[in-house]
Structure 1
Amino acid sequence: MTPRYVDHPGFRLVGRALTIRGDEAGTAVPAFWDRCIGEGIFETFARICGEEPPASYGLVDDADEVTGAWDYIIGVEADETTEVPEGWVARDYPARRYAVFAVEGPIPQAIQDAWAAILRNWLPNSGFVYDQCPSFERYTHEDPAALACEIWIPIRPVR
């Protein structure tokens, strides 16, 4: 598993959020995607962006070390003038360096397997530590027949 490294300038994400406990992630995240897709989230993304967005995100935020809960946000990049639909959230994320991993295989299992490999195998041996900023899955839509996914992990060098 070899990542590429990206210095991301920061961004605003607008989307739907669900609070999840870590032990529920394997079932709760795919179910949340199914529910949001069924409720027309991609049509709302197009309305928010004024066109079909180039990418959508599944972002992990606000982890609570005591309860093990965190927010999972399905969203799109937007600017500060974007009107946020009722019941949705808008969150700003700072510039950060990321290790970016391409995910290959059937979704969602390939994503779950990639996360496990990154956190258990790659990160401990990488010379980096997980930086305190949200990580995310970035889904590109260039080819309608094949959804492409990348996992973005915020990193900083071990000191």
Structure 2
Amino acid sequence: MKYAERDAFEVVGIEIRTTNADEVTPRGKIPGLWQRFFSDGVLDAIPHRKLGAPIVAVYSNYENGVHGAYSLLLGTEVTAIDRLPEGLVARAVPKAKYAIFESNQGPTSQVVPDVWKRIWNWGEGTRALAADFEVYDERARDPANARVDVFISVVGP
């Protein structure tokens, strides 16, 4: 794990509201969000995409810390958020200091939950819960053999 400060940026995509408790049951919404993202061609429908920007999954609007509901937006960074097509939403990711966790390499369905287990064991007290995000860059092009970075907003200077 390493730390870095990141400037604010805006992401446009599709969004759900869920909980960690739901995501470990058949009621989980995250797999369906990913399926919809690709099957509906959401990435191609996003206006003002920033050239070369990766797919990002932004976790925000935390209710009751990490134990309650949160929003998950799946999309990409944009240069503007005007005139969004119906069904797309924008989310601002604030300037913050982040702890960056790198997943192991392997199937995304395995390495992403594994890195989140490391984050949950790392300690809730240091998390700012402003906005956290996963980055699916060129290292994640092959979902059977991917590596993903997870940025966790942290408390402190």
TM range (shorter): 0.7 to 0.9
Partners of 1:94 and 1:86 lie apart in 2 by: 24
Give runs of aligned pairs for residues 10-25 of structure 1, distance below 5 A: 10-25=8-23
Q: Partner amino acid for 1:156?
A: V
| 1:28 has 2:29 as partner | yes
TM-score w.r.t. the length of structure 1 is: 0.80
**Which residue does the alignment assign to 2:133?**
136
- Paired residues in the alignment total 150
CA distance in 2, matches of 1:142, 1:41: 20
Q: TM-score, normalised by structure 2?
A: 0.81
**Secondary structure in structure 2 of the residue aligned to 1:16:** strand
* C-alpha distance in structure 2 between counterparts of 1:151 and 1:6, whole Å: 12
As a proportion of its length, which structure holds more strand? Answer: 1
* Amino acid paired to 1:108: S
1:58-112 residue CA offsets vs partner (Å, 9 max, x unmatched): 1111122299221110011112355322111112222101011111221122111
CA RMSD, aligned part only? 2.6
Residue aligning to 2:91? 91
Could you tell me how far apart the structure 2 residues matched to 1:88 and 1:55 are? 17
The DSSP-based 3-state class of the residue aligned with 1:60 is strand
Gap runs ≥5 in structure 1: none
In the TM superposition, residue 147 of structure 1 has moved relative to its aligned partner by: 4.3
Q: Is the 8 A contact 1:48 1:83 kept in 2?
A: no
Alpha carbons of 1:110 and 1:81: their partners in 2 closer, same or farther (altered >3 Å)? closer
Task: Give me the whole-angstrom Cα distance separating, in 2, the residues matched to 1:96 and 1:76.
Answer: 18
> More displaced, 3-12 or 73-82?
73-82
